[in-house]
Amino acid sequence: MSSPRNLVRILYPKSHAIRSSKVSTAITFNFPTQASFGWRGQSRDSIGTVLCVDDDGILRVGFPGASRGWKADPAEMERVEEFKVGDWVRIRPTLTSAKHGLGSVTPGSIGIVYCIRPDSSLLIELSYLPNPWHCEPEEVEHVAPFRIGDQVCVKRSVAEPRYAWGGETHHSVGRISEIENDGLLIIEIPNRPIPWQADPSDMEKVEDFKVGDWVRVKASVSSPKYGWEDVTRTSIGVIHSLEEDGDMGVAFCFRSKPFSCSVTDMEKVPPFEVGQEIHVMPSVTQPRLGWSNESPATVGKILKIDMDGALNVRVTGRQNLWKVSPGDAERVPGFEVGDWVRSKPSLGTRPSYDWNSVGRESLAVVHSVQDSGYLELACCFRKGKWITHYTDVEKVPSFKVGQYVRFRTGLVEPRWGWRGAEPESHGVITSIHADGEVRFAFFGLPGLWRGDPSDLEIEQMFEVGEWVRLNYNANNWKSIGPGSVGVVQGIGYEGDELDRSIFVGFCGEQEKWVGPSSHLERFDKLFVGQKVRVKQYVKQPRFGWSGHTHASIGTIQAIDADGKLRIYTPAGSKTWVLDPSEVEVVEEKELCIGDWVRVKASISTPTHHWGEVSHSSIGVVHRMEDEDLWVSFCFTERLWLCKAWEMEWVRPFKVGDKVRIRDGLVTPRWGWGMETHASKGQVVGVDANGKLRIKFRWREGRPWIGDPADLALDED
C-alpha cells in the first residue's frame, strides 16, 4: 500500500487521462450514474485528498467534513493541481468544520501558503491572524493572486470591510502599492493622503477597461455612483472616456451625452460586430430606438456601428437601415444546415454536451438548426446525432469535391487505419457524405479511400492563370527570388500521375520556373484600370524608372501573360513597364465611423456652417448616413453635422505616441498649465471624441488634457 497525497476530484463525463505520480494513461470513459463505491454524500464538484492507494489500485480519499477513507475507483477521479509555498488560497466558503479546528478563521478568507508540512498539511498566513492557520489541502482552494499595480475596489457583498473604511466607498478605486507576507494589501487611493489597508478577501480586481470597450452595469450593483438616470441593467454602451479617479463616461445610443459612473459599476460584454445577424430579443416589447416598421420576427445584418453602439441593420427588401440599440438586440446563431463546425478552443478541457465522446478536434456537420439556438450535429464515426448550443462551436471551412488533400501533420493513425496509404500519400476528394465522411482517390492506390475529415488537411494547389509569389522557402533562380510575383503556366505530371510540380512564368525570364507548390503562395491578382505606384523600399525597378519617381501614380493599361505591367501616367511620354512585385495598389480611402478627420482646406464654408469648428479642428466620425457625417469634437457636447466630401482623413493619435505642443500655438484650448513649447510628452489616454491625456516629462500628478489640434507628433 502506497500513500501519495494528491488532491483529486470526481470526473465529469469526458475523454480524460488518469494520472498518478509515475504514470499518465489516456482512456475514454463514460461516467455512470452512480460511483462504483457509492456517493456517500459527495458530488462531482467534491475535492478531496488521496490518503493512500490499496494494493488493488483502489484509492482512499479524504473529503472535508466527511469521514476519512472514502473508497474510489481511480478511473472515476482526476488529479487537481497541488499547492506550493507562496500560492494564494481561499478557505472553502462551504467549510463548516476543519480537521485541526477553525478557531477564529472565517470561511471564504484569502491567504498565502506559508509552509507545507511533511504530512502534506498546510500552514496558511491570513492578514487578521497573528500566527499561520493549520489545515488540510482539501479545506482550501486556489485563487488568482493579487499583484502590485492591480486596480482594486471593495466587493459589493462586503458591507463593512475588516479594516475600517476611512472615507472610502464601494465606488473608490485604488492601486495596490505593496503586499505583505500574509496577503494584507496596501492600497494607494487618489486624493487620499495616506495608503489604505485591506484584507484581500474583501477586495476584487477592477477590470482593465479601455476606451471603446462595450459595457453594461454589473448585476451586483444596486445603484451606479451617480444614479441610473435613463440607463437600465440591460443597457449596453461604449466607453468614451476614463478618468484618473476611477470614473468613466459611457455613450449609450439613446442618450445625447455620456453617462457618468464608476469603473466599479460596469462590466465588459462581447461587442457586436459588422456582418453579424441580429433580431430584437423576445423580452423587448418596445425597442429604445423604435420598431421603424419592423417586427419581433425581423432579422437583419449589421452594416455599420455608430460610436455610441447604435447598430445600423440592413433588412432584406428595405431601402433604409434599421437602427437598433445593442441592449435590445441578440445575435442570431448564423449557422445553416450543411455548415462544418468544431468545438471552440476557448471552452478549455470541458467541452459541453456530447463533444466528450466525439473528441475536441473532430469535425461535425450541422444537420438541423433549432429556434432555441441549439444545433443538431452529425459526424462520420458516430451513430445518431447530438445536440449542442451554437455558442459552443465555431465554423470551419468545409471540404469540397475536387480538392487535393493529404494527411495532417503529426497524425499517428487515421480513424480507420492506413489501409495501404502512407503519411506522405495525397489524393483528390471524389465524394462527401452528409455526415462529413469523405471518399478520395489516392495516387497509386486502387479504388476509393474512406476517411475522417479531421485526419486530413487541404493541400494547396494552383490553377493555370493564378497569380503566385515565391515564399521564403524558395531559393534564388536567375533574376528571380523570394517575393517575386508570377503567373501559373502549368502543372507537372510524371506519366499518368500528378507530381505536384508547378510551372510559373515570371516577367523578364524566357524560361519557366519549375518547383513544388510549397514554395509558392497566392497573390492578389492585379487588374487593368487599377492605380499603382512603386513601393518605397524598391530603390531601382527592374525595368527602370522611365522618368518617374516613387511619387508617380499610374494606371495599369495592360498585363502580359507573365504578369508584366504596362502603366500609363499622364506625365509619361511612353508606357512604363513594371514588375508586379514592385508595385502597390493605390486605393482612395472612404471615411468610416471612428476615423479622425478635419475640414478640407478647399472648403470655405461647410454646408451646415462652422459653429465652433475651424479648419484646424480635429474630430472623430461618430455616425454616418449617406453623405452626412456626425463628428465628435472634444470641445463640443453636441455632434457636428457636415458632408462627407467636406472632410479629409488625418492620422489618429494613439496611446504611446510621443507628442509636443504645436509650433505657433498661442494658447492651448485648456491653458498651458506648467507646460511650454519646449515640453515633450507621451499620450497615455485618448477619449472617443479625440481628447488627449498627456504625461509630460518631469511632471507628477494628473495627465495634461489637450485638444488634438493643439499637438503634433514629436518626430525627434
DSSP 50-113: EEEE-TTS-EEEE-TTS-S-EEE-GGGEEEEPPP-TT-EEEE-TT----TT--TTPPTT-EEEE
Q: What value does the CA radius of gyration of the chain take, rounded to a whole number of Å?
A: 33
pLDDT given for residue 41 in this prediction:
59
- Judged against a pLDDT cut of 70, whether residue 1 lies above it is answered with no
What whole-number distance in Å separates Cα of residue 673 and Cα of residue 654? 22
Distance set, CA 629 to CA 366, 526, 638, 645, 690 (Å): 42, 33, 13, 9, 16
Q: At 238, list the grid cell.
A: 461604449
Q: How confident is the model at residue 355 (pLDDT cuts 50, 70, 90)?
A: low
Note the pLDDT tens digit of each residue in 154-209: 998 899 999 988 888 898 899 999 999 999 999 998 878 889 999 999 999 998 89
Q: How far apart are CA 620 and CA 652, in angstroms?
A: 9
Q: Is 540 a residue whose pLDDT tops 90?
A: yes
pLDDT of residue 26: 22
Using DSSP, state whether 620 is helix, strand or coil: strand
Q: For residue 582, give the 3-state DSSP assignment.
A: helix
Burial of 58 per CB tally in 10 Å (0-12, 13-18, 19+): middle
Residue 399 has pLDDT above 70, yes or no: yes
Position 356 pLDDT exceeds 70: no
Give the cell for residue 487: 503567373
Condensed to tens digits (0 to 9), the pLDDT of residues 295-312 reads 999 999 999 999 999 999
Give the pLDDT confidence score for residue 547 in this predicted structure: 87
What is the CB neighbour count within 10 angstroms for residue 103? 10
Side by side, the strands of the sheet bearing 185-188 are 196-198, 185-188, 174-179, 151-154, 203-205
Q: What is the pLDDT of residue 74?
A: 74
Q: How far is CA 587 from CA 125, 275, 547, in A?
A: 63, 23, 23
Residue 36's pLDDT is what? Answer: 67
Burial per residue of 431-451, b for 16 or more beta-carbon CB atoms within 10 angstroms, e otherwise: ebeebbbbbbebeeeeeebeb
Q: What are 587's three cell numbers?
A: 486605393
User: If you search the block for the grid coordinates 461587442, which residue do you land on?
Assistant: 271
Residue type at position 365: V
For residues 77 and 59, the answer to whether their CB atoms sit within 8 Å is: yes
State yes or no: pLDDT of 216 exceeds 80: yes
Give percent of the chain with pLDDT exceeding 90: 56
Query: In this structure, how many other beta carbons lie within 10 angstroms of the beta carbon of residue 651?
Result: 9
More confident residue, 345 or 658: 658
Q: Which residues pair with 648 in a beta bridge?
A: 598
- Determine the Cα–Cα distance for residues 301 and 275; give it in Å rounded to an integer: 6
pLDDT tens by residue, 257-276: 999 999 999 999 999 999 99
Q: Can you tell me the distance from the alpha carbon of 320 to that of 451, in angstroms, rounded to the nearest whole number?
A: 49
pLDDT at 43 over 90: no
* pLDDT at residue 601, as a whole number: 93
> What's the mean pLDDT in 266-295?
93
Q: Kindly indicate the confidence band of residue 583, based on its pLDDT and cuts at 50, 70 and 90.
A: very high
CA 324: distance to chain centroid?
A: 24
- The CA distance from 219 to 247, in Å, is 18
Q: What would the mean pLDDT of 227-249 be, rounded to a whole number?
A: 94
In this prediction, residue 357 has a pLDDT band, given cuts at 50, 70 and 90, of: low
β-pair partners for 449: 440
Helix (H) or strand (E) holding 658: strand 658-661
Task: Of 277-286, 330-339, 512-521, give the range with the top mean pLDDT.
Answer: 277-286
Tell me which residue of 202, 231, 227, 229 sits closest to 215, measured CA to CA: 231
pTM: 0.69
Number of CB atoms found within 10 A of residue 696's CB? 18
* Grid cell in block for residue 446: 486502387
Render pLDDT for 45-80 as a digit per residue (tens, 0 to 9): 566 777 777 777 777 777 665 656 677 777 777 666
DSSP assignment letter at 477: B
DSSP class of 423: T
pLDDT, mean of residues 593-605? 95
| Average pLDDT value for residue range 215-223 | 93
- CA of residue 312 relative to chain centroid, distance: 23
How many residues does the structure list for the chain? 716
Give percent of the chain above pLDDT 70. 88
Per-residue confidence band for 25, with pLDDT thresholds at 50, 70 and 90: very low
> Whole-angstrom Cα distance, residue 262 to residue 250?
10
Question: CB–CB of 689/630 below 8 Å?
Answer: no
Other Cβ atoms less than 10 A from the Cβ of 99: the count is 14
Residue 17's pLDDT is 30
pLDDT of residue 498: 54
Cell numbers that stand for 610 in this block: 462652422
Q: Which residues contact 294 (CB under 8 A, 6 or more apart)?
A: 280, 300, 315, 322
Residue 200 sits at φ, ψ, to 5 deg, of: -60, -30
Q: What is the mean pLDDT of residues 443-449?
A: 85
DSSP state letters, 317-384: T-SSPEEE-GGGEEE-----TT-EEEE-GGGTT---TTHHHH-TT--EEEEEE-TTSEEEEE-TTSSS
Is 225 within 8 Å of 161 (Cβ atoms)? no
List, for residues 470-479, the tens digit of each pLDDT value: 998 888 999 9
Helix H segments across 410-562?
none
Mean pLDDT of the chain: 86
Report pLDDT for 300.
93
- Beta strands 266-268 and 277-280, pairing class: unpaired
What is the C-alpha separation between 49 and 120, in angstroms, rounded? 10
| Band of residue 255 on the pLDDT scale cut at 50, 70, 90 | very high
**Cβ count near 514 (within 10 Å):** 13
Burial environment of residue 341 by CB neighbours within 10 A (0 to 12, 13 to 18, 19 or more):
buried
How far, in Å, CA of 449 to CA of 441, rounded? 6
The winner for highest mean pLDDT among 311-315, 442-446, 500-504 is 311-315
Indicate the pLDDT class of residue 446, thresholds 50, 70 and 90: confident
Lowest mean per-residue pLDDT among 72-81, 315-324, 568-577: 72-81
Other beta carbons within 10 angstroms of residue 71's beta carbon come to 14
Average pLDDT over residues 330-348: 82
Q: pLDDT at position 359, please?
A: 62
Q: Is residue 371 scored above 80 in pLDDT?
A: no
Q: Angle 119-41-103 (CA atoms, 0-180°, nearest 5)?
A: 50
329 and 281 Cβ atoms separated by less than 8 Å: yes
CA distance 92 to 707: 52
